[in-house]
Amino acid sequence: MTGGPVAAIAELFGTAAARDYLGEPVTVAAHMLQTGALAQAAGAPPALVAAALLHDIGHLPLPVRAKEHEERGAAWLATWFPAPVTEPVRLHVAAKRYLCAADPGYFARLSDASVHTLALQGGPLTREQAREFAALPYAADAVAVRRWDDQAKDPRAVTPDFCHFCGVLEGLLS
């Protein structure tokens, strides 16, 4: 890997910023690798594997101005990747809010850190907001990413390294 967008992403995975994850027992990098590996193990298509892998890239230092990490990440990734990658990234926080409204047991399964960020993100969607979210073109993909996201916080998990996903990412570049 010698330069280009995938190398830039790999470099971000290695930064000091990728070593902390808002009170979770894993690093941001480990969390994203676990999420990508879960998507791959589930047989998700390449774009959804990439979205799962990159969903929290907005927590890392990006040259994009946007208040929320999901908007930052999606905007930066849109430079190189198509909507089937960037839209689930952009919608993964809304998917958490949606699942809190649509799935009665979902909230109880959230980590303490995720419950805390849910409050900062606006809490569960209203019924009307949930209907609107569910009608979005990439809502189902964002929900899938969100469910893998919730499972990807195991400090003992063994995951492939970033380069395991390089071929997937290279194949999706616009």
pLDDT recorded at residue 56: 96
What are the tens digits of pLDDT across the range 11-54? 999 987 778 777 788 999 999 999 999 999 999 999 999 999 99
**Phi and psi for 7 in degrees, rounded to 5?**
-65, -40
pLDDT recorded at residue 88: 98
Extents of the domains making up the chain:
4-92+145-172
Contact status, residue 91 vs residue 136, Cβ threshold 8 Å: yes
pLDDT recorded at residue 17: 77
* Interatomic CA distance for residues 113 and 127, integer angstroms: 24
pLDDT recorded at residue 24: 82
Buried b (16+ CB within 10 A) or exposed e, 94-130: bbbbbbbbbeeebbeebeeebeebbeebeebbeeeeb
Residue with tokens 């000091």: 16
Residue 129 has pLDDT above 60, yes or no: yes
- Give every CB contact of residue 3 below 8 A, 6+ residues apart in sequence: none
4-92+145-172, CATH topology level: Hypothetical protein af1432 (1.10.3210)
Confidence of residue 2 (pLDDT cuts 50, 70, 90): low
Residue 118 has pLDDT above 70, yes or no: yes
* Mean pLDDT in residue range 132-149: 98
Residue 150 has pLDDT above 80, yes or no: yes
CA 99 to chain centroid: 15
The chain-wide mean pLDDT, for the chain, equals 94
Q: What is the pTM of this model?
A: 0.94
pLDDT recorded at residue 18: 79
Lowest average pLDDT, out of 19-33, 66-80, 81-95, goes to 19-33
Confidence of residue 1 (pLDDT cuts 50, 70, 90): low
